[in-house]
A and B are shown apart, each in its own frame.
Chain A
Amino acid sequence: MKIENAQFRVDGGIHPVYNKHLAKDNAIQAMPLPSLLRVSMSQHLGAPAKPVVAKGDTVLRGQIIGEPAGFISAAVHAPTSGTVKAIVQAPTATGQSVAAVEIEPDCEDKWRDDIKGNPNWESLEVKELIDLVSDAGVAGMGGAGFPTHVKLSPPPNKTIDTLIINGAECEPYLTADNRLMIEQAENIWTGCRIIMKILGAQTVRVAIEDNKPEAIEAMEMAMASTEGNVAIVKLKTEYPQGAEKQQIFAITGKEVPSAGLPMDVGAVVENVGTTLAVWDAVVNGKPLTERVTSVTGTPVSKPGNIRNRIGTSYGDLIEFCGGTEGDTAKIISGGPMMGFAQSSLEVTTTKTTSGLLLLPPKLVTNYSSTPCISCGRCVDGCPMYLMPCELSQMIEAEDYSAAREINLMDCIECGCCAFQCPAHRPLVQHMRQGKGQVMIMMREEKEKEAEKTKD
């Protein structure tokens, strides 16, 4: 076990104001059960789950209330014991209206009877381990929320040699992962060893930005006695060091090919929160029913890192943090760079809610329509080496095929371009719009191709 500095670094990237001090030193607090939990069936990327309970049913904590629909989908479990009040249509963090199960807690918080831990997990088969992760409904807790069991079952023709545990937490404000590493380093490390066994990976790298010395220290203690090719990699503090492709490059020097996946370069990246959930799922046999969310931002009275049940409303979370002081202009689910702005506090937490950020009016910069002045800052800042200025102008002119040709689809929407743009152009929104149109184009092309082969 050693500590090393990252050997590589992508060009581009930015240095925003981090404001991590707001919640960085506040230990994780468990939030008491709210009076109502609304569990969305769309917990992550991919198809929403299908509700399998009905109004009036009594449920136990950990009981399946939503069954996965399709391959890229994970089960949803009841976050506590209680009664199903209703199945409603409720908005998710992105605004889409999706089915949600409302549960009124009975305040007994009784687990399902058949919960059984596996303290001797090392004797289990890989298949059994994956099943445990899958049954627990674990999904990536860093943001996108890719179902973890899918990520952990690469096709047989891909070998995974490097497992990267992502503790970079490069998003400004957010501190949940930092606290998890400080407080639960041992368990994270056990989770990491479970994933190692599942993937058969020989090399493990724990990536942490160098602005989290305490987390590095804690992880070092946990990993100290481990033999083998295991190391903590200190990343320079820079956004987006936590982005999957950029992180793999920083550590291995390998570029994930365009339109490819990390497994194409033999790597898998798991967030520290996900790793902890894997530990919980395997060692304790507990389904994923809670997570740690940073509730932060200057208008929050007592910012903190709150362990909350999935389905807790944003309003309840803020109330638990002492409410707000002063005006709030923007509510963001996630971090300021990639999070989603919310229109109400009725939205509830999901497996991917890493943060709930409130911004006062003076920290909100509005997008404007001034034209591009070709300063090139977006080109300098782009960690995918794209030319956001040209892309955005093409998309504004609705020339989507030209934008596609200069690799629009490689954009990871990290926001470095729009962060730097002096003309305040909504570059990321342009990219999203363009990507949406190109997706439609691609679908049409596929259909045409299919028709051709039919003939």
Chain B
Amino acid sequence: MHPVLTTTLAIGGVGAACGGALAMAAKFLAVHEDPRIEETANLLPGANCGGCAYAGCADYAKAIILDDAEINLCAPGGESTLCALAAMMGVEASAAEKKVAIVLCGGDSDKAPRKFAYNGIADCTAANSTGAGDKKCAYGCLGYGSCSRACPTGAIEISKGLATIHPELCIGCGACVKTCPRKLIHMIPASRTMHILCSSKDKGPIVKKACSVGCIGCTKCTKMVEDEAITMQGPLAIVDYTKDYTNEETIEACPGKCIKKVPAVAKAMAGRQGSTVD
């Protein structure tokens, strides 16, 4: 036989055999998946942020179809995703208000001194368990950026040893909340602008020593707002975000200088609605 023919036959034969085997495998070993899962996954933004508490968008899609998971868990997708999902599943959309994360601490390195020189892993959990953190304030932001590294959109900026969340970039997934060893990050409605940027449960004199922008527990602000929108938890004033708090006079009135107005997020959000994360 001609060598060319032998080669062709040999290679062709091997190819045919393998092809056959693959075809059989595809037929008998096929995994049947509900086609709606893929459809649902396509509706999700694909940021894989984990904010819905599932391992990525595909997993959430699976949960919606198979385990009847709630369809309003996708924070980054916002209203448009919710509507699309509702239409697909044939249910009514019940949107929750868009939430964003905020760090309730305003003590950067100029305002809140450190008590020792920390040498070690630049990670908040690690720093917090070595000498209980190097910030004099036992409640303040350590600024080693654990939250920033967890953020899927790069919305958290660390400057001068303080984490600040850019609300216009925040997709509300909540990944940062879990990473903060001092539990300083809270999810709040995106429309809120007035905040008390302090979480220190220490008494006034101790706070004053540790930070120049800490809540000293004077209760002044609680009297300037209606409907108990600010309440005292021990020596710390806390904003109740379910209630209305817009009185900007409190900023000037606060002797601890810890009340701040953060530019409205809602406007920035409007322009972003429907677009995906870059």
Q: Which residues of A contact B (CB under 8 A)?
A: 91, 94-97, 340-344, 366-367, 426, 429-430, 432-433, 436
Beta-carbon contact of B119 and A433 below 8 Å: no
Within the complex, the shortest CB–CB distance from A376 to chain B, in Å, comes to 22
Query: With contacts defined as CB atoms under 8 Å apart, how many contacts are there between chain A and chain B in the complex?
Result: 40
Ordered by A's residue number, 28 sampled pairs between the chains whose C-beta atoms are within 8 Å are A94-B131, A94-B132, A95-B130, A95-B131, A95-B133, A96-B132, A97-B132, A340-B131, A341-B116, A341-B130, A341-B131, A342-B131, A343-B116, A343-B134, A344-B115, A344-B116, A367-B119, A367-B120, A429-B121, A430-B121, A432-B126, A432-B129, A433-B121, A433-B123, A433-B125, A433-B126, A433-B129, A436-B125
- The residues of B that contact A429 with a CB separation of less than 8 Å are 120-121, 126, 130
Within the complex, the shortest CB–CB distance from B142 to chain A, in Å, comes to 13
9 tightest A-B contacts by CB? Answer: A95-B132, A343-B116, A95-B131, A343-B115, A433-B126, A366-B119, A429-B120, A426-B120, A429-B121
Docked complex Cα distance between A367 and B119 (Å):
7
**B residues 106-148 with Cβ under 8 Å of A?**
115-116, 119-121, 123, 125-126, 129-134, 138
Contact with A along B183-201 (1 / 0, CB 8 A): 0000000000000000000
**Count of interface residues, chain B, beta-carbon cutoff 8 Å:** 15
Docked complex Cα distance between A424 and B254 (Å):
47
- The residues of A that contact B133 with a CB separation of less than 8 Å are 95
Beta-carbon contact of A97 and B138 below 8 Å: yes
- The residues of B that contact A366 with a CB separation of less than 8 Å are 119
Further pairs besides A366-B119, A436-B125: 5, Cβ < 8 Å = A95-B132, A97-B138, A343-B116, A343-B134, A432-B129
Within the complex, the shortest CB–CB distance from A48 to chain B, in Å, comes to 15
Within the complex, the shortest CB–CB distance from A303 to chain B, in Å, comes to 23
- The residues of A that contact B123 with a CB separation of less than 8 Å are 433
Contact with A along B151-187 (1 / 0, CB 8 A): 0000000000000000000000000000000000000
Within the complex, the shortest CB–CB distance from B148 to chain A, in Å, comes to 15
Question: Who on chain A is nearest to B133 by CB?
Answer: A95
Within the complex, the shortest CB–CB distance from A94 to chain B, in Å, comes to 7
Within the complex, the shortest CB–CB distance from B77 to chain A, in Å, comes to 26
Beta-carbon contact of A343 and B131 below 8 Å: yes
Docked complex Cα distance between A227 and B17 (Å):
84
Question: Who on chain B is nearest to A92 by CB?
Answer: B132
- The residues of A that contact B130 with a CB separation of less than 8 Å are 95, 341, 429
Docked complex Cα distance between A343 and B130 (Å):
10
Docked complex Cα distance between A114 and B259 (Å):
57
- The residues of A that contact B116 with a CB separation of less than 8 Å are 341, 343-344
